[in-house]
């Protein structure tokens, strides 16, 4: 199971790794890490399906922003420290905004319009029932995965916003 949380770097990195991270960020011309509240630890998502998180991270990787740690500063690219990749929360939030349409996230107005359209059809209910059942099974699995990705998008987005507000890193643990 995977977890998404906001927590200080010291929860995951050694002092030496934090120094290495600071050096890597300096080379990337990133601003210094802000002083956040080291006492803040908040689990945003716990017990998340690793397959769904992996699928989500693959989509982030397509935008070159998949990381295990997101920092509350703005910089280009990612830096590696030990076994971890660190990226910018600002870039993550921008990427999540771009991905919103990919995950078919709707506004409340869109959902109301869809509810009004339910029950309307073309009146053609004939066809091979076995083929329809197989298609329905494939569609229901795809729809379930899509719903889980939508929920995960919301968890990532909420976590990234909270982490930015508190100036604390966001951690993805698999």
DSSP string, 5-70: EE--GGGTS-HHHHHHHHHHHHHTTPPPPP---TT--EEEEEEE-HHHHHHHHHHHHTTT---SEE
Question: Whole-model pTM?
Answer: 0.80
- In eight-state DSSP terms, residue 85 is E
Mean pLDDT value across residues 47-63: 96
State the Cα–Cα distance between residues 166 and 172, nearest whole angstrom: 17
**What are the domain boundaries of the chain?**
2-115+133-173
| pLDDT value of residue 34 | 85
What are the tens digits of pLDDT across the range 64-78?
999 999 999 999 999
48 dihedral zone (left: phi>0; alpha: psi -120 to 50; beta): beta
Q: Are strands 84-88 and 69-71 parallel, antiparallel or unpaired?
A: parallel
Helices 50-61 and 129-166 sit at what angle, rounded to 10 degrees? 70
Residues 6+ apart with CB under 8 A from 9: 18, 21, 33, 69, 169
For residue 94, with 0-12 CB atoms within 10 Å meaning exposed, 13-18 middle and 19 or more buried, which class applies?
middle
What are the tens digits of pLDDT across the range 118-169?
444 444 555 455 555 555 666 788 889 999 999 999 999 999 999 999 999 9
What are 131's strand-pairing partners? none
| pLDDT value of residue 114 | 45
* Tokens of residue 36, six digits: 């956040």
103: pLDDT confidence band, cut at 50, 70 and 90?
confident
């Amino acid at each position: 199971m995977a977890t998404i949380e906001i927590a200080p770097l010291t929860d995951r990195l050694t002092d030496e790794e934090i120094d290495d991270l600071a050096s890597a960020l300096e080379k990337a011309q990133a601003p210094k890490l802000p002083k956040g509240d080291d006492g803040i630890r908040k689990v945003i998502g716990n017990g998340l399906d690793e397959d769904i998180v992996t699928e989500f991270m693959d989509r982030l990787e397509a935008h070159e922003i998949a990381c295990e740690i997101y920092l509350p500063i703005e910089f280009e690219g990612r830096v590696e420290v030990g076994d971890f990749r660190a990226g910018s929360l600002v870039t993550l939030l921008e990427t999540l905004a771009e991905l919103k349409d990919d995950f078919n996230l709707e506004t409340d107005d869109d959902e109301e319009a869809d509810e009004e359209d339910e029950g309307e059809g073309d009146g053609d209910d004939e066809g091979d029932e076995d083929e329809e059942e197989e298609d329905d099974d494939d569609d229901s699995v795809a729809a379930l995965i899509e719903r889980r990705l939508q929920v995960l998008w919301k968890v990532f987005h909420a976590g990234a916003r909270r982490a930015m507000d508190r100036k604390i890193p966001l951690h993805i643990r698999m």
